[in-house]
Amino acid sequence: MVLLKKCISILTSLFLIAVIAITGFLFVGKINGGKTVLFGNQIMVVLSGSMAPAFDTGSIVAVKPVDFKDVKENDIITFKDPDGLTITHRVVEKRDGELITKGDANDGKDTAPVTPERLIGKVQYSVPLIGYFIEFARSGLGMLLMLGVPGLYLIVSSVWKLLRMIKEEEAKAAAKPQP
């Protein structure tokens, strides 16, 4: 029983540390104008299936800024389209100082070539499904839950420990022989 309580305590502590770390990470991202950066890579959530099967909706991609000249055919890049939307697609051709891109799941090439000023960077890696959690955590309800649940847990556990200490002190006082 003692071992089980110890394991639950350790797991709860690790969970709280993870939640607080993720919340802090996302909070810093909000402060930085919505850009979440980890180890020099901008973390972005994939919102469409245009790059399936390379990565699906709900994945996150880590995008590292690179020089335009360092981008090669078959690299997966992230860029701003002419309307200002952020897109992650594969480079299928490099010509005349422009990059021709295409989503792996799309039938045709993108209509607007990528120019140096619109390039954000090159995808370094992706992690599936975490994007759903990040998008939820970025929402108002998600932030409330990510901060509120650990906070409530800390308050309740502190009150519980305090009540237990009071009960133990009362038991010790009652057990002492009266003069």
Task: Identify the active-site residue in 13, 48, 139, 158.
Answer: 48
The 3-state DSSP class for residue 44 equals strand
Which pairs with CB-CB distance under 8 Å and at least 24 residues apart come from 18-22? 19/146, 19/149, 19/150, 20/150, 22/137, 22/146
Sole residue written with tokens 């690790």? 14
Rounded Cα distance, 67 and 101, in Å: 17
Nearest CA-CA partner of 137 in 40, 70, 60: 60
Sole residue written with tokens 């909000």? 30
Rounded Cα distance, 88 and 46, in Å: 8
Q: Yes or no: say if 45 and 175 are a contact pair by the CB < 8 Å rule.
A: no
Rounded to 10 degrees, what is the CA torsion of 65, 70, 74, 78? 20
| Annotated catalytic residue 48 | yes
Supply the residues annotated as catalytic: 48
